[in-house]
Chain A
Amino acid sequence: EVQLVESGGGLVKPGGSLRLSCAASGFTFTNAWMSWVRQAPGKGLEWVGHIKSKTYGGTTIYAAPVKGRFTISRDESKNTLYLQMDSLKTEDTAVYYCTTDRRTTVTTPGDNWGQGTLVTVSS
């Protein structure tokens, strides 16, 4: 059974930093392409970014609102995905979900989801 467990959320001041972790199990993490998706309180879903597997170079891509401030990385030895968030803004307040991508000949984010971790950016 695929399990994704996020951690690291909390309250941070504007301009601050936070690192989220996502512990993965139940599948071959090394081969997985992974995404982060967020949801502001009472709002809809927003794709944050994605990382390919190391086999495909571990390439990352980001949504425009977070590009240059957020960094996605992965540690195969720990089966863990990370989201480093810097220069946080109040509009980054959201539940952050770790997801696996569904891969066929193309890729779709959000195949499996964690339970999410809440990040609150407030002074």
Chain B
Amino acid sequence: QSALTQPASVSGSPGQSITISCTGTSSDVGNYNLVSWYQQHPGKAPKLIIYEVTKRPSGVSDRFSGSKSGNTASLTISGLQAEDEADFYCCSYAGSGTYWVFGGGTKLTVL
């Protein structure tokens, strides 16, 4: 069982917006602004799309945005496109001893 809880799947139609949640505890998500999100297409390596809750690496579309409230972080994808279909993982720092924990992943289907 993963340390962070994500929905197994979400779906949306092209042009719509979707949000993926990532629920942790006061020991990880709720205690540090160190949540990151990764996109993984089938058979490919993951790609960092959000770090430090809200920041985007250069080259990542501004359709991807991150936020956090309490022990839950969220990834929002606006203007869904077919190429967004992938698995998405959240990750949070959890303090010394545990360090970094991932969510179980969410499969995004673009209908």
Q: Which residues of B contact A113 (CB under 8 A)?
A: 45-47
Contact check, A108 vs B36: say whether CB atoms are below 8 A apart.
yes
- Set B51, B99, B101: member contacting A61, Cβ < 8 A: B99
Tell me the dominant secondary structure on chain A's binding face: strand
Closest to B38 in A: A110
**A104: CB under 8 A from chain B?**
yes
Q: Please measure, in the bound complex, the distance between the C-alpha atom of A32 and the C-alpha atom of B45, giving whole angstroms.
A: 20
| Distance, CA A56 to CA B2, complexed state (A) | 31
Give the residue among A108, A114, A116 with the most B Cβ atoms within 10 A. A108
| Chain B interface category by residue count | 20 to 34
Give the complex CA separation of A44 and B97 in angstroms: 21
Q: Which single member of B34, B52, B93, B105 contacts A45 (CB below 8 Å)?
A: B105
Judged by a CB distance under 8 angstroms, whether B64 is at the interface is no
> A100 CB to closest chain B CB, in angstroms?
10
**A50 CA to B91 CA, complexed, in Å:** 15
CB neighbours of B34 from chain A (8 A) = 106, 108
As a 0/1 sequence over residues 34 to 53 of chain B, the CB contacts with chain A under 8 angstroms (1 = contact) are: 10101000000111100110
Chain B residues in 8 Å Cβ range of A97:
45-46
Pair B48/A110 contact, Cβ less than 8 Å: yes
Residues of A that sit less than 8 Å from B by CB: 35, 37, 44-47, 50, 61, 63-64, 97, 102, 104, 106, 108-116
